[in-house]
Structure formats: C-alpha cells, structure tokens
Amino acid sequence: MKRKDEYIAIYLRLSDEDGEQGESNSIKNQRILLREYIQRNPEFSGMIIEEFVDDGYSGTNYDRPGFQRMLKRAREGKIQVILVKDLSRLGRNTIETQEYIEKVFPFLGVRLVALNDHFDTKIPVQNQNDLEIKFKNLINGLYPEMCSKNIKLQKRKTAEQGEFMGNIPIYGYAFKEGGHSKLVIDPETAEIVTQIFTLFTQGKSLGAIAKILNDEQVDTPATYLGRKGYKVARKGNNIWYYTTVKSILKEKSYIGTIVNHRTEVSVISTKKSKTIPPEERIECENQHEAIISKDIFEQAALLLKGNMPRRKKVPQKTERSIFDKKIRCGCCGNKMRIRIGPKSRRISCLTQSVSDKYGCMKGGIQEEELKQVILKMVNYQIRLISDFWSVLEEKRKSIHLNNSKQEIELLENKMKELKKKRFLIYEEYAEGRITKEHYQEKAKKLSSKITYYAECKEEMEKQTEKEEDIESLQKDKHLRKIRSFGEVEQLDSEIVDCMIDTIYIYSADRIEVKWAFQDIYIEGAENKVTV
C-alpha cells in the first residue's frame, strides 16, 4: 500500500566524464540497483518513487534539468528521501556537494542516501566517517580534471582513425545506418551542394547564389537538419546568406575527407570550447563517397582566395558606428550593416540582397539621415523625462508635507493606549465596579476612535508608499543620467548606449525604437516617429 504524499526520489546521472566506467554507471544499471535497494528495505515500503534523470550532464555543476526539478519538488515538501548510487552521481563539485549534504538537504528535511558510499544522513554524523565522505567528495571534484586528458587522448585516437565524430551530419550527407561514425550521401541535399559549386565556379557571386537558392525556396542547412530531427544551434529564418554559401564551399567533407578536431573543450568542468586552427585539425582522406571532385573543390578554393579572375566588385568596408549592434531590420529581424561609400555611410539589410521573402527595405538608408531621425526621438524622450521629473518633485513635496513615518508611529501609539483603556474598563465591568450599560457606552466610544485612527494610519501608509516609490524613481541613476543630457545637439555613443536598446528600420519613413528605460518614466511616450 502506497503511503499518501510520501515520496522517495532516485537520482540518475551519466556524462562523458565517467570515461571507461560508463557501463557500470549507465542509467539502466543505476536504475536497477536503486530500485532493488528500495524493494529490499521495508522502511521504504509504500513510498511513491519519483525518478529524475540527467543523461549527458556533467557533475561539475548543479545546473542540470533533472536535478533542478528534483530540488524544486524537495522545496515544495514533496520529497522526503533522495537515493543515489554514490555521491559522485550527485555531483563532482566538492564545495557545492558538501553544501547540499550539510546545509540544503537538512534544511529542507530531506534524507540523502548514497548506496555504494554507505552514506545516510539519517545516521548521526559521529557514527559515520565524516572525514572519509569529505575525502570522497574531494576525489569526485578532482576526477573530471584528472580524466579530461585521458578522454581527449581517446577522442584523438578515434579521430585519427577517420571516424566522423559529430552528432549532426554534414549538410549533403546522412549517417550510415547503424551509427554516427560514417557518412553516406543524402541525394536531396547533395544536389544542392553540387549546384552551389557549379554556380560558383561558373562565375556567380556568393550573394547571387544565395538569392537563387532563396528564390527556389530551398531550405537552409539548419532548417533542413532541424526538420530531420537534429538539434541545431540556430534554425534562423530559413534565409540563405553569402556566409552560408561560403561555409559550404570551404567544407572538405564534400571530397570524401573527414575533418575532425575542429573544436576542443579545454577543461571538462568548464565545458568551454575553443576553435582549432585549420592546420591543426585532423584530416583523413577517402573516408566516404565524394559529392564534389577534387578539381572542382580546388578551383572553388582558388576563387575564394581571389587567385582566379572573377567579376570585379568595388570593395566595401564596414566601420563601427554609434548605432553598432543596435540596428535591426524591422521586416526580417536581422542585424543591419553599415557600409562606407565614396561619399556617405549607408545602412542596409543583408537579407534584401538575397531574398524578397520579408519585403525588406531596398537601397537602405543614409546613416546621417537615421541620426537626424533618432536625434528628434531622443530629445523628445528627454523632454518627457524632464517633465515627468518635475511632476515627481511636486508629488513628493505634496506627500511629504502631509504625512510622515513619525505620524504613523504616533497613531499606532494612540491606538495602543485606547485598546489598553478598553481592556481596563472591561476589567472594571468584570469586577462589578461599573454597570453593563456604562461599560458598553465607554467601549463603543473607544472602539470608534480606534477604528478612526486605524483608517487614518492605513491612508498614511499608502501615502508613504507613494513617497518611497517617488524617491526610488528620483534616485534611479539611469533616469538621472538621461535627464542630465539636456537638449542634445549631436548624438554620440554614450547617449545612444544609455537611452536605446534597439532601433528597428522598416523603411526611411518608418523607424521604431525600443528604449533602454522603463515606460513608467515616460507614460504616454511614443516609440515611433514618422519622417
């Protein structure tokens, strides 16, 4: 019979840091071990079992979905016992693990049992080898660092054998049935890869190729792989850009070469990776069927380097602007770029050059023109803030003159005195020194005064809250800084960074600004200016 609202949580975790011990620590084996332990122990009989799993998550930090769900349940009082195979399953961060054992779980009233470590928080500390537990936690903390070098060596050995080591196949290929170590041609996307190389070697620019693919409504690599069920970092807006085309033209996998060791995790505990230079990557030729011949690939590589004649194009440079990282196309949502021309700087959307899908602005807008529009909007907001500041000051003065915390305290003292008097006359009545009628008359008058003072106190507290809110607004550093700008004659990076979050450009006649401050400062302010 299950006990009502009594839960035992079994926590299961496995990650790459477990190395050769992966089989013994497998999720399956952990589950069998812990459930058999529960069945053998009558004290857990009838408890409801809840399972929390983190498969593929490092124990070096506690930011794991399964563990966090379990912790949430524990905070809600829904879990009485947590059972793990050993303390290393719980975590490998020495300090944090000890914190959970000694402080968090006891505070939540949760019993922790680590089966293989013979550790149970139900048993008094003096009856357990506390030093041994702390030593094990120390070893668990050092283990990921100790084994990281070994894991790197194992992965390098696998890479040198020519096995594909990615979790997502290269666009143009699919995984060979039965595993992820070998690539086979995907006819659907291999055709697109061939088309890209053909167009490029025939003289088409990267942007022109991107536009052709967009016009033909070809899915981007990210969209296609996402549709196949793979976890891609960014699916984007399904628009081909010249950068996407360029990355395909540089991919050696299309000539049958496996390229491994493209990135490397420096230390397992941090999970931070660095990009490996091309000359240091591990390449193995003739590992799968090629989509592109070596001659075509080399021809494309030369064209990319500019060593073969192509259609001449006037080089355009990008330069940092006061609007850097703040301007986006209102139509497609992508970041916009600023180009330097012979006479001016122009802001344009990259998408419009390769696709008509979103109706992005063609031709762009002069940076100077944008500056003038934003200048008007900025000054309008500063005036609104200055006006709002004046209103705040008047409200603050008005409220300050009419109430104070001292007055509230005085009212509280008066109410205490009246309640004391009311109790004393009740004692007089109880002792028979005054009549019932006399008592009721006096008590009614005192209760009426208490009610009146309570209402006055409540009103003053409301006013005090308003005063505190106003003072908080007036102390706001962001608001004070904006007010200090006064009438702006020329925009600079400081003003733009302080006031503007994002500028959305739909056309030269429609520009919207998302401000970097709360609307409470400028109630009724417009975020859009039409020019």
Q: How do the pLDDT tens digits run along the chain, 531 residues long?
A: 556 678 999 999 987 665 444 455 688 889 999 999 999 999 998 899 999 999 888 877 888 999 999 999 998 889 999 999 988 888 876 678 888 888 889 888 899 998 888 888 887 654 445 545 554 544 444 444 544 555 555 556 666 666 777 788 999 999 888 777 788 999 999 999 999 999 999 999 999 999 999 999 999 999 999 888 888 776 568 889 989 999 999 999 999 988 887 776 654 444 566 777 877 788 888 888 999 999 999 999 999 887 444 444 444 444 578 888 899 999 988 888 888 777 778 898 888 888 888 889 888 899 999 999 999 999 998 888 777 777 666 666 655 545 566 777 888 888 888 888 888 888 888 888 888 888 888 888 888 888 888 888 887 777 666 665 555 555 566 777 887 888 899 999 889 988 899 999 999 889 999 988 765 444 444 444 444
**127 and 82 share one domain:** yes
Distance from C-alpha of 79 to C-alpha of 125, rounded to nearest angstrom: 22
Given this model, what pLDDT does residue 279 score? 76
CA atoms within 13 A on the CB side of 241: 11
Structure tokens at 181: 């170590």
Same domain, 105 and 200: no
Give the whole-angstrom CA distance, residue 3 versus residue 83. 18
In a domain, 218, yes or no: yes
pLDDT at 371: 92
Looking at residue 381, its pLDDT comes to: 86
Residue 201 sits in the same domain as residue 129? no
In this structure, are 149 and 218 located in the same domain?
no
Domain boundary (128, 155, 182) is at 155
Asked whether residue 498 is assigned to any structural domain, the reply reads no
| CATH code assigned at 126 | 3.40.50.1390
Instruction: Report which DSSP code applies to 500.
Output: E
**Residue 478 domain flag:** yes
pLDDT at 73: 92
Range of the domain at 59: 7-155
**CA atoms of 501 and 491, how far apart (whole Å):** 15
Residues 183 and 292 occupy one common structural domain? yes
State whether 279 and 244 are in the same domain.
yes
Full DSSP string of 338-373: EEE-SS-EEEEETGGGT--TT-PPSS-EEHHHHHHH
Three-class DSSP category at 38: helix
Judged by DSSP in three states, 317 sits in coil
Closest Cα partner for 44 from 11, 78, 82? 82
Q: Which residue has the tokens 């004290």?
A: 43
Residue corresponding to tokens 């054992």? 101
- 362 within a domain of the structure (yes/no): no
**Please, what's the largest Cα pairwise distance for the chain?**
118
Q: Is-contact 25 89, C-beta < 8 A?
A: yes
- The pLDDT, as a whole number, for residue 528 is 42
HSE-CB of 407 using CA atoms within 13 angstroms: 15
- Answer yes or no: is 200 within a domain: yes
The residue among 33, 38, 36, 63 whose CA lies nearest residue 48 is: 38
Domain membership of residue 181 (yes or no) is: yes
Q: Which pLDDT does position 530 carry in this prediction?
A: 41
Query: Rounded distance, CA 421 to CA 453, Å?
Result: 15
**Same domain? 121 vs 200:** no
73 with 50: CB under 8 angstroms?
A: yes
Kindly state whether residue 324 falls inside one of the protein's structural domains: no
Co-location of 235 and 286 in the same domain: yes
Do residues 17 and 134 share a domain? Answer: yes
- Can you tell me the distance from the alpha carbon of 47 to that of 67, in angstroms, rounded to the nearest whole number? 20
Residue-level pLDDT at 84 = 92
- CATH for 287: 3.90.1750.20
Domain limit, last residue, from 277, 305, 333: 305
In a domain, 129, yes or no: yes
Q: In terms of Cα–Cα distance, which of 144, 155, 143, 157 is closest to 264?
A: 155
Residue 190 shares a structural domain with residue 150: no
pLDDT at 397: 61
The pLDDT value recorded for residue 246 is: 94
User: How many domains would you assign to the chain?
Assistant: 3
What pLDDT is stored for residue 513 in this prediction?
A: 92
Confidence (pLDDT) at 3? 60
Among 155, 187, 212, the domain boundary falls at: 155
